[in-house]
Amino acid sequence: MDRDPRVCVVGEDVGHYGGSYKVTKDLANKFGDLRVLDTPIAENSFTGMAIGAAMTGLRPVIEGMNMGFLLLAFNQISNNCGMLHYTSGGQFTIPVVIRGPGGVGRNLGAEHSQRLESYFQSIPGIQMVACSTPYNAKGLMKAAIRSENPVILFEHVLLYNLKETIPDEEYVLSLEEAEMVRPGEHITILTYSRMRYHVMQAAKTLVNKGYDPEVIDIRSLKPFDLYTIGNSIKKTHRVLIVEECMRTGGIGASLTAAINENFNDYLDAPVKCLSSQDVPTPYAGTLEEWTVVQPAQIVTAVEQLCQ
């Protein structure tokens, strides 16, 4: 916002309250109430307003206080945000960032535990990225704000307390590149967001059992970085996808299809995908844990694939 006066933030409680997870803390004091705009509880209205502002030259960052609330703005995100560049014959660009907390955790119940990447992945004209560390959260956010395309940035409710030393100097990450988290030889494990940490926990157990997994945080949910993914598959010949998204119609399903279409000849075993169960997320903590993939399940899946 210091760098570009066109950047503004729009959403519920983003101003003096600092956001529901304090992502916009103190920004209102620094940039004023017009550039950090508190809105009524009306997602369709303020999302449409921000898209209109983008059409006239601003670069809005829209916060959904909880990603589940953005379903109320689905029409604006789909029919306006994703399509106006095309339907206007290129007269308008929509440099909008839509971001907010989502995912399973904190006993928030079914309506506040949504994973909307499966909903939004089929919208033409929209890019999707998911951050998993403080380093890539900053780098992807800056890249999304500077992009001329509409970008949805998925944050996870359980990752806001992570701490990490990040560079003082300027850096911007690519919106279309995966991250090699752990090189390995025996199997490629593809994951993103919170599941990165479940995978790395499982990887410690797998190494002790003699396996050498390669772990990739795909980060870019649309489009996939098939170059990085493909090079890994050509080396390991086995793939396990671990996601928190729903199994039916999720990111894992799309990624499985892309791998089978592009790298089928390199596979020594069918692609296996571990996903959340197709049920509303329970409020009770123990039941909530049972609906998402746990490290022990990842270990078992790798052992089966590497037999």
The separation between CA 94 and the C-alpha centre of its own chain, rounded to angstroms, equals 20
Which amino acid appears at position 35 of this protein?
R
Amino acid, res. 214: E
Q: What does the CA dihedral 94, 99, 103, 105 come to, rounded to 10 degrees?
A: -170
Catalytic residues: 43, 112
The maximal CA–CA distance of the chain, rounded, in angstroms, is 60
DSSP 77: I
Whole-angstrom Cα distance, residue 251 to residue 46?
A: 28
* Residues sharing a CB contact under 8 Å with residue 161, sequence separation 6 or more, in sequence order: none
Q: Which residues of 60-84 are buried (b: 16+ CB within 10 A; e: fewer)?
A: bbbbbbbbbbbeebbebbbebbbbb
**Neighbour count for residue 93 (Cβ, 10 Å):** 17
Give, rounded to a whole angstrom, the gap between the first and last alpha carbons of the chain.
52
